[in-house]
Structure 1
């Protein structure tokens, strides 16, 4: 891993919170992510299962966590299983965790090699009543690939059909959404790296630069500061490309007079930043570009003030919609009389602002959380309004990451240039 070591206390704390919520006399099993084939003899870069990392801090393939707090054999109440390395693996793939390194990283004292898993599970499973299995229950995900947790569930049901099977996901949904101090620090680190990449880009952009050249500047800064890489495929969308919400071809030349919409973030220690900015290619907004930019900025500032503990998801987005509607009327994009007659279920502002204002952020960029639960202290949410005007080849989106505290909220990206004058000043400095 490129990132610096994380205190094992984070993962000890996370496991303690998880097992406190499971039924008595239960085994919980967690599996590392699959290694996905990329070609005939290669796999994609490994990305650890977020829940597995949350509970172990182990960033390695083919690993298993077993939790059985009521196990009659104390040795098997908390067990980590790892792929055993060899001289061959060390030469061809590089270093793997030793048992002692895994103990230090996770805080789990009982570490075994993977080949011991079946025998150990067989020796204790019949003393348990329940088996907790973790599945991907993020409501943004539609299951199409039989990932490892599901395959293991099928195997377990075949071997142990009379046990009661339970879901770990609802417990983790309530736990992961509330960030501990260490998680906030890791997210802040990701934000700080993202800030430095954005400032670097501001000094680099000029007419004639290609979108992919800007992407190269971003990943250079990320890697230089120990980030694992991009939190998600970066969007560098100049001119008309900015009206494509998930544009990531990044293959066009940036033209004088256009605006570039950026949406990118660093991943550090599996925690993510998520930033959006819009800048003029030539360093100066036109009057119309500035008018739209300032409108989005005003919506962002008002929406940020609404991100507080107790806010309800749908009500929050409805209020932001009202603010956006007012700004779109001011820009001449909506007519006040048409708005008065609109169908509330199909508000007119959606023509120019078609996505949500916020999502939870953490180990997943769209972090695992309930959209029906009020915001809580410890939540980190994005705030990302945008206006997209196809007929003007103009898209403006602004986004910062907001932490909710007992005393209001904290903008984790408050030191990243946002005001139009600040951006123009750096670009022309």
Structure 2
């Protein structure tokens, strides 16, 4: 891994919090992700299942974590199963975790090689009544591929049909949505790397550069700062491309007079950042572009102030819609009749701002969190309003990542990334 070691205190605490929510005499199982094939002997670069990482810090394939807090054998209350490393693996793939290194990473004393899994698992299953299985139930999940975890869960139900089965997901949804300070520090580092990429791009962009060249500048800066790369597929959208919300082709030239919408973020240690900035290819906004830009920025600033403990996500979006409606009226994009005659299920402002304003962010860019429950301190949300005007050939979105505080306004992890229109012009023309 490129990232620096993470204090095992984080994973010890995460396991303790999870096990406190388990039913008596129950066992929980978490598997690493597969390495997915492309063709021939090619594979997609490995990314760890976020839940086993959250609970152990183990960041390699073919690993299994068992948690059994009521196990009569104290050695088996936390167990890691890992692929046995050897000289051949070390030469061809690089050294895997040893038992000592696994303890240093996860704080788990009992580590077995994967070849012992069946024997040990049958023993602990004979001692428990309930098994927690790991399932992906994120509200945006739409997955067709069968994962390693899916195969394991199917095998488990077939081999041990008399056991009760529970889902670990509801516990993790709540735990993962509230960040530990160590996690916040990691996310701050991801945002700092994103900041370096953005400042590099401000000094690079000029009319005639291609969207993919801008993408390459970000990637260069991310990699040289210990990031694996982008936390999600980057959007570098010039001109009318910005009006395609999930534009990812990034293959067009940036023309004089274009605005360039860049929705990019570095990952660091499996944690995401998520930034959007919109800049003028020429280094200068037109009068109209700046009017719209400042309107989006005002909505972002006012929306951010609403992210406080007790806020309900759905109610928050209604209030942001009111802010955006006011700005669109001032810009002449809506008139009073549009608002008076709007469909309550699709308000008038949605013509120009059709997506949500905020989502949880953490180990996943769209992180775990139960949206029907009140916001609490140390949750991290994006704030990303936008105005998209195909008829005028540009779209503008601005986005920061903020941490909800016990009192007062959220703490902006992207506070040092330039966002004011005048500041961006000054940097680009310096």
Report the Cα distance in structure 1 between the residues aligned to 2:192 and 2:346, rounded to whole angstroms. 38
Give the CA deviation at 1:142: 2.3
Report the Cα distance in structure 2 between the residues aligned to 1:223 and 1:273, rounded to whole angstroms. 14
Residue aligned with 1:204, SS: coil
Report the Cα distance in structure 1 between the residues aligned to 2:228 and 2:338, rounded to whole angstroms. 48
Partner of 2:147: 147
Residue aligned with 1:81, SS: strand
- Any residues of structure 2 matched to 1:160-199 within 5 Å, and which? 160-199=160-199
Structure 1 residues not aligned, in runs of 5+: none
Partner of 1:421: 422
Are 1:52 and 2:52 counterparts?
yes
Partner of 1:84: 84
Q: Which runs of 4+ in 1 moved over 6 A?
A: none
Q: Once structures 1 and 2 are overlaid, which stretch shifts more, 342-351 or 272-281? A: 342-351
Report the Cα distance in structure 1 between the residues aligned to 2:46 and 2:338, rounded to whole angstroms. 51
Report the Cα distance in structure 2 between the residues aligned to 1:341 and 1:164, rounded to whole angstroms. 53
Give the CA deviation at 1:143: 3.6
Report the Cα distance in structure 2 between the residues aligned to 1:338 and 1:279, rounded to whole angstroms. 30
Are 1:325 and 2:297 counterparts?
no
CA RMSD across the alignment: 0.8
Deviations 1:43-95 (A, max 9, x none): 10001011110000010000000111111112211000001122222222112
Deviations 1:193-220 (A, max 9, x none): 1011101100000011111111111011
Residue aligned with 1:38, SS: strand
Residue aligned with 2:70, SS: coil
Q: TM-score, normalised by structure 1?
A: 0.99
Deviations 1:327-357 (A, max 9, x none): 1111111111221121211101111101000
Partner of 1:410: 411
Report the Cα distance in structure 2 between the residues aligned to 1:217 and 1:355, rounded to whole angstroms. 28
Give the CA deviation at 1:391: 0.8
Q: TM-score, normalised by structure 2?
A: 0.99
Residue aligned with 1:279, SS: strand
Deviations 1:273-292 (A, max 9, x none): 00000000000000111111
Residue aligned with 1:333, SS: coil
- Any residues of structure 2 matched to 1:174-323 within 5 Å, and which? 174-323=174-323
Report the Cα distance in structure 2 between the residues aligned to 1:144 and 1:251, rounded to whole angstroms. 28
Deviations 1:116-158 (A, max 9, x none): 1111011121110001101001011124222122211110111
Kindly tell me the number of residue pairs found equivalent between the two proteins: 429
Residue aligned with 1:405, SS: coil
Report the Cα distance in structure 1 between the residues aligned to 2:106 and 2:4, rounded to whole angstroms. 14
Deviations 1:12-40 (A, max 9, x none): 00000000000011111000111111112
- Any residues of structure 2 matched to 1:361-376 within 5 Å, and which? 361-376=361-376
Give the CA deviation at 1:228: 1.6
Report the Cα distance in structure 1 between the residues aligned to 2:84 and 2:43, rounded to whole angstroms. 19
Report the Cα distance in structure 2 between the residues aligned to 1:275 and 1:32, rounded to whole angstroms. 28
Give the CA deviation at 1:395: 0.5
Report the Cα distance in structure 2 between the residues aligned to 1:247 and 1:37, rounded to whole angstroms. 26
- Any residues of structure 2 matched to 1:314-393 within 5 Å, and which? 314-393=314-393
Partner of 2:112: 112
Report the Cα distance in structure 1 between the residues aligned to 2:27 and 2:339, rounded to whole angstroms. 56
Report the Cα distance in structure 2 between the residues aligned to 1:87 and 1:368, rounded to whole angstroms. 39
Report the Cα distance in structure 1 between the residues aligned to 2:380 and 2:281, rounded to whole angstroms. 31
Partner of 2:137: 137
Give the CA deviation at 1:363: 0.2
Give the CA deviation at 1:323: 0.6
Report the Cα distance in structure 2 between the residues aligned to 1:315 and 1:407, rounded to whole angstroms. 20
- Any residues of structure 2 matched to 1:13-32 within 5 Å, and which? 13-32=13-32
Give the CA deviation at 1:270: 0.6
Q: Once structures 1 and 2 are overlaid, which stretch shifts more, 33-42 or 100-109? A: 33-42
Give the CA deviation at 1:41: 1.0
Deviations 1:265-313 (A, max 9, x none): 0000011100000000000000111111011011111101111111111
Structure 2 residues not aligned, in runs of 5+: none
Residue aligned with 1:131, SS: strand
